[in-house]
């Protein structure tokens, strides 16, 4: 978060989260969350908070006490990191490189395009056509 506008949007999101859990969104609480999450992009923090809130809702039948507890900073960071990792890797087969190294021997280190790369090429050709 490096935009001054981010702080306002962040405070609104934390207030929304506090209200969802029946907590008072005190300025010192919002400030504490802000200081601990400042290094992460606001958009990812908002997505992560939504994920944590959704997970809480799914917990209600099993563990009412935990389901009603206010999400913590480490829980939010955990989800932010998952979102950032997913975006970076993209494809699990090639780790997002688009190429898979063949293992036909050390002297024949060749790479073949990954399925995700072929898929991307296909979808480019489909532009304007019927599918
Ligand atoms: Zn791939």
Tokens 């998952």 sit on residue:
82
pLDDT digits (tens, 9 = 90+) for 81-130: 998 887 665 787 877 778 888 766 556 668 888 888 777 677 665 545 44
Q: What is the pTM of this model?
A: 0.67
pLDDT digits (tens, 9 = 90+) for 10-32: 999 999 999 999 999 999 999 99
38: burial class by Cβ within 10 Å (0-12, 13-18, 19+)? middle
87-95: long-range contacts, CB 8 A cutoff, minimum separation 24: 90/116, 91/115, 91/116
Which residues, other chains included, contact 91 with Cβ-Cβ below 8 Å and sequence gap of 6+? Answer: 98, 114, 115, 116
CA of 62 to the centre of ligand 1 (A): 38
CA of 52 to the centre of ligand 1 (A): 29
pLDDT of residue 131: 44
């Amino acid at each position: 978060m490096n935009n001054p506008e981010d702080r306002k949007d962040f405070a609104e999101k934390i207030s929304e989260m506090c209200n969802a859990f029946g907590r008072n969104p005190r300025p010192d609480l919002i400030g504490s969350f802000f200081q601990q999450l400042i290094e992460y992009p606001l958009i990812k923090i908002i997505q992560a908070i939504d994920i944590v809130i959704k997970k809480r809702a799914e917990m209600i039948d099993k563990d009412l006490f935990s389901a009603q507890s206010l999400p913590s900073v480490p829980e939010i960071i955990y989800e932010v990191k998952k979102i950032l990792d997913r975006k970076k890797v993209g494809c699990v087969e090639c780790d997002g490189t688009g190429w898979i190294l063949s293992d036909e021997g050390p002297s024949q280190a060749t790479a073949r395009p990954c399925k995700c790369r072929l898929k991307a090429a296909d979808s480019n050709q489909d532009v304007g056509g019927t599918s």
